[in-house]
């Protein structure tokens, strides 16, 4: 059986956890399906399964990139029988290793790159390869913490310099803010 994966990428403190938590709390997304959430990075925010509209949720923490193997995914598939998987991916890990770790029946349905608009250009200047790695296959780029002084054109050029297909979203308030 095919297992859809929703892959959330970005760097530490970009707002991935809050974005995913909000998604899990949205009754339009929560359909009662067995959902496996794989968390590959721990930041300031923590998941609150009790607030989730998705009551059939299993959360796994993965601290090492090498844990993600086809055998491990197959074992999780057998143990938890998820109908979908959400992954909060570590921004310092490259995506090719993730994609190579997926068994044949696990398919990425959507990849979303979440970035802090106040720091992403600095990340790009200092770690361009990691930024490009995340932007290349993203279908949507979400820029948090944008304000009237945000240079949206530079953010737009950053995305379009790598991907012509990604949708770009700007949020004035960080999805980390309550």
- Whole-Å CA distances, 157 to 17, 119, 124: 26, 15, 12
40-49 pLDDT, tens digit each:
998 888 888 7
The mean pLDDT value for 146-169 works out to 95
pLDDT higher for 139 or 147? 139
pLDDT for the residue 115: 97
Percent of the chain with pLDDT over 70: 96
Paired with 10 in beta bridges are 114
Task: State the pLDDT confidence band at 53, using cuts at 50, 70 and 90.
Answer: low
Paired with 110 in beta bridges are 6
Residue 135 DSSP label: H
User: What value, to the nearest 5°, has the Cα angle with vertex 85 and ends 8 and 53?
Assistant: 90
Across 62-105, the runs of DSSP E, i.e. the strands, are 84-88
Q: Is residue 100 exposed (0-12), middle (13-18) or buried (19+ Cβ within 10 Å)?
A: exposed
- Whole-Å CA distances, 87 to 9, 63, 155: 8, 13, 24
pLDDT for the residue 45: 85
On the question of pLDDT at 80 being above 80, the answer is: yes
Say which residues have a Cβ less than 8 Å from residue 42's Cβ, sequence separation at least 6.
Answer: 61
Three-state DSSP at 134 gives helix
Three-state DSSP at 75 gives helix
The mean pLDDT value for 132-146 works out to 96
Three-state DSSP at 50 gives helix
pLDDT higher for 42 or 64? 64
Paired with 28 in beta bridges are none
118-135 pLDDT, tens digit each:
999 999 999 999 999 999
Task: State the pLDDT confidence band at 139, using cuts at 50, 70 and 90.
Answer: very high
CA distance 69 to 100: 8
The mean pLDDT value for 80-104 works out to 96
């Amino acid at each position: 059986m095919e297992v859809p994966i929703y892959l959330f990428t970005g760097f530490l403190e970009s707002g991935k956890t809050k974005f995913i938590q909000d998604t899990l709390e949205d009754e339009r997304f929560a359909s009662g399906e067995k959902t496996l959430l794989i968390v590959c990075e721990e930041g300031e925010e923590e998941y609150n399964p009790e607030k989730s509209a998705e009551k059939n949720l299993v959360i796994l923490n993965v601290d090492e990139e090498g844990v993600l193997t086809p055998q491990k995914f197959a074992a999780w598939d057998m143990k938890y029988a998820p109908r979908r998987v959400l992954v909060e991916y570590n921004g310092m890990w490259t995506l090719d290793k993730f994609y190579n770790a997926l068994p044949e029946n696990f398919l990425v349905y959507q990849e979303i790159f979440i970035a802090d608009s106040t720091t992403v250009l600095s990340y790009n200047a200092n770690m361009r390869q990691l930024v490009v790695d995340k932007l290349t296959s993203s279908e949507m780029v979400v820029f948090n913490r944008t304000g009237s002084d945000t240079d949206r054109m530079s953010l737009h050029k950053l995305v379009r310099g790598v991907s012509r297909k990604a949708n770009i979203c700007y949020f004035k308030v960080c999805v980390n803010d309550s």
